[in-house]
Amino acid sequence: MTDTPSAPERFLSAYTTLRLGGPAGTVTTAVHTDEAVETVRAAAAAGRRLLVLAGGSNVVIGDDGFDGEVLLLRTHGIEVTGENASGVLVRVAAGESWDDFVSYAVTNGLSGVECLSGIPGAAGSTPIQNVGAYGQEVAHTIEAVHAYDRRAGETRVMSPAECRFGYRTSVFKHDDRYLVTAVDFRLARSGESAPIRYAELARSLGASAGDRVPLQQARETVLKLRAGKGMVLDPEDRDTWSVGSFFTNPVVSAAFFATLGEMPHWPAADGTVKIPAAWLIENAGFPKGFAGAGVAISGKHTLALTNRGTGTTAALLDLARTIRDGVRSRFGVELHPEPVLVGCEL
């Protein structure tokens, strides 16, 4: 492990896809799971504040930074641990690049995560917000989550039910009780994708809903779609200097939705209705490219709020508030942030 790196590396902007965030008190890098667990255990015993960062793709850190210890999770490893009639069990270290794992699965003929190609960040972060895109979410394939329980002082293997997965949420989100150390995925041994569920992806594939396509075709098509929306990291493209979708799609009651008038929507759980946040934002008067001070809505995707290179977290959150308040005023619908906010609030 390496403690207290040189001054530039203490600025957390170096570890987030937004390239925003002030200094940390100290920074510790863990390349092995036992190092990570020991760091968390020691911080808890000493009463030190601790922030865990892996890919930094779903976090907004305040300009004042984090006055405590930051643990950079840099563990790696992908291992097949079992196979039976229900599929192949693959264990992925929490610090492993998510897209490297998806590439591994596709290359090895393992189906179930191909539509999650191109999502930045680490594998251990995906269960925290139940990452999803193009009709798939990690809850569809997670068999178990390995986590260190700070409260109990022990490592646990948690079932999907214990993880309490929901729309972009889980038991891990907004609660620092658990350090995710590895995730087990149950994937099908197949050269074809899971049934295509997302209409835009189906159209791009020339397929129908429910069809299966070759894994590599699914992955390449998703990567192309995401790149067109600025959702594949590119250091030269500031439309990708973001946390991806900043707001979740709001879910409202059917009765309330009936008062809103005609707009795109999908059925959600228990008779509720999901409305695309991007549509609400655009129709509340905030088009692609709408700018603040050194920040802007992406020129490629309305849900991405981006750092144009001179932005600050304060400016980004001012832009987010302007959009949130505008949508509330126009439609009476409340938008909620998808990323975790550290040292700042919306």
Alpha-carbon dihedral 305, 311, 315, 319, rounded to 10 degrees: -30
Note if 338 is an active site residue. Answer: yes
Among candidate residues 19, 150, 168, 238, the one labeled active-site is 168
Note if 170 is an active site residue. Answer: no
- State how far the Cα of 332 lies from the Cα of 325, in Å rounded to an integer: 9
* 197 CB-near residues (< 8 Å, 6+ apart): 134, 135, 136, 209, 210
| Residue 323 near residue 233 (C-beta atoms within 8 A) | no
Note if 38 is an active site residue. Answer: no
* 179 CB-near residues (< 8 Å, 6+ apart): 36, 37, 40, 52, 94, 147, 148, 150
Among candidate residues 143, 245, 298, 324, the one labeled active-site is 245
Catalytic residues: 168, 245, 338
